[in-house]
Amino acid sequence: MLEAVLGVDSAADSRSLHEAMVRAFGGPAPSVVWEPPLDVSLYGPDEFPRPLDTLAAVSVRGDVNVLRQPTVAIVGTRSATPYGRAVAWKYAEFFAQRGVCVVSGGAVGIDSEAHKAALAAGGTSVAVLPSPLDKLMPRVNASLFERIAGQGCLVSQFALGSKAMPTWPLFRNKLIVQLADAVVVVEAPGQSGALNSALHASELRRPLFAVPASIELRTFDGSHALIREGKATLAERPEVIADAMGWDGHAHMGTATHPEYAPILEALRGERLTADDLAERLSMEPDEVASSLTMLELEGLVFFEGPYVFARL
């Protein structure tokens, strides 16, 4: 029964890998059958396309071969500011358009923006989750996880059927870094899980980059500390990272701005406006503004934060 659930050819091999995952982090016995069946495969160090370091096995849903591409981890706080979200989108979109797979942790905030941007740009993304693949967390991102599995893959080091533990995000952070050729910290306050990822980047000798922000934004205190202490390279533009890593591919697709939307995007630059504010400022009908904003949101050029709309960088 286990091989049918896990989508692997050998029940003995799958049971052995599952037992190794249980020994590492806990979980049910291999005889347990999970319903409904999931399209999940188990990989040991010999089959997985990236080194697993001390891990004996991981579970994967989706196309594991996207990890054969160049990869960049984009990490940051769950309590992301509009600026941080816009930066995460801009950087992830930039890399995805150049054939670099975007890796992150599937959390709300910076992680989600990075995943969404990579997918919107037609690229690939990998979500490394702090939960087994039969109990995807956070649940609010369930639809996003489905999209990632269809355009990349979900990865977990925790055995199917396990109960997620509070410390697992920290273990997950190391695996994010293991799967990345470079790590980018977008927005990290003084106490942040992203700083834990930065520590792993140093230990695993991955190039580490951090994005700066205004000194008024305390949610970037950790990011600024990484730069100040010489632990991360200042990356005020994604091109800085691409040049350092030798990723000189040209953009293969993008969200081209329609000329008719230019006045709206221009009005939003650096502004905190509602749709009604835009209609009044641009002397447009509210319905026309609403329709334009819907199209711009679908193209990934704007996003909403409560009643306010913001242009992505």
Confidence (pLDDT) at 151: 95
In a domain, 233, yes or no: yes
CATH number assigned to the domain comprising residue 235 = 3.40.50.450
Co-location of 241 and 265 in the same domain: no
For 243-296, write each residue's pLDDT tens digit: 999 997 655 433 344 567 788 888 887 778 899 999 999 999 888 888 788 778
Range of the domain at 276: 259-311
Is it the case that residue 53 has pLDDT exceeding 60? yes
Q: For residues 247 and 311, which has the higher predicted lDDT (pLDDT)?
A: 247
Co-location of 90 and 201 in the same domain: yes
When mean pLDDT is compared over 6-10, 68-72, 164-168, 258-262, the highest value belongs to 68-72
In a domain, 61, yes or no: no
Is it the case that residue 34 has pLDDT exceeding 50? no
Q: For residues 28 and 13, which has the higher predicted lDDT (pLDDT)?
A: 13
Co-location of 307 and 220 in the same domain: no
Confidence (pLDDT) at 35: 40
Contacts of 46 (CB under 8 A, 6+ apart): none
Measured between alpha carbons, how far is 299 from 201 in angstroms, rounded to an integer?
33
Domain boundary (192, 210, 245) is at 245
Average pLDDT of the residues in 151-168: 90
Per-position DSSP letters for 117-131, written without gaps between them: HHHHTT--EEEE-SS
Measured between alpha carbons, how far is 104 from 183 in angstroms, rounded to an integer?
10
Instruction: With cut-offs at 50, 70 and 90, classify the pLDDT of residue 174.
Output: very high
Confidence (pLDDT) at 39: 83
In a domain, 23, yes or no: no
Q: For residues 268 and 69, which has the higher predicted lDDT (pLDDT)?
A: 69
For 119-131, write each residue's pLDDT tens digit: 999 999 999 999 9
DSSP 112: H
Co-location of 234 and 305 in the same domain: no
Co-location of 276 and 217 in the same domain: no
Co-location of 186 and 301 in the same domain: no
Confidence (pLDDT) at 61: 94
Co-location of 208 and 79 in the same domain: yes
Least confidently predicted of 32-46, 54-68, 70-84, 124-138:
32-46
For 223-233, write each residue's pLDDT tens digit: 999 999 999 99
In a domain, 50, yes or no: no
Report the domain count for the chain. Answer: 2
Average pLDDT of the residues in 62-80: 95
Co-location of 170 and 194 in the same domain: yes
**Distances 301 to 83, 103, 208, 254 between C-alpha atoms, Å:** 13, 21, 27, 11
Domain boundary (245, 272, 295) is at 245
Domain boundary (245, 280, 302) is at 245
CATH number assigned to the domain comprising residue 286 = 1.10.10.10
Instruction: With cut-offs at 50, 70 and 90, classify the pLDDT of residue 75.
Output: very high
Confidence (pLDDT) at 313: 58
Mean confidence (pLDDT) of the chain: 85
In a domain, 128, yes or no: yes
Co-location of 82 and 205 in the same domain: yes
Co-location of 217 and 286 in the same domain: no
Instruction: With cut-offs at 50, 70 and 90, classify the pLDDT of residue 149.
Output: very high
In a domain, 251, yes or no: no
Average pLDDT of the residues in 37-63: 88
Confidence (pLDDT) at 108: 94
This prediction has a pTM of 0.76
Measured between alpha carbons, how far is 17 from 244 in angstroms, rounded to an integer?
37
Co-location of 289 and 239 in the same domain: no
In a domain, 53, yes or no: no
Number of residues assigned to the chain: 313
Q: For residues 46 and 70, which has the higher predicted lDDT (pLDDT)?
A: 70
For the chain, the first-to-last Cα distance in angstroms comes to: 50
Co-location of 84 and 184 in the same domain: yes
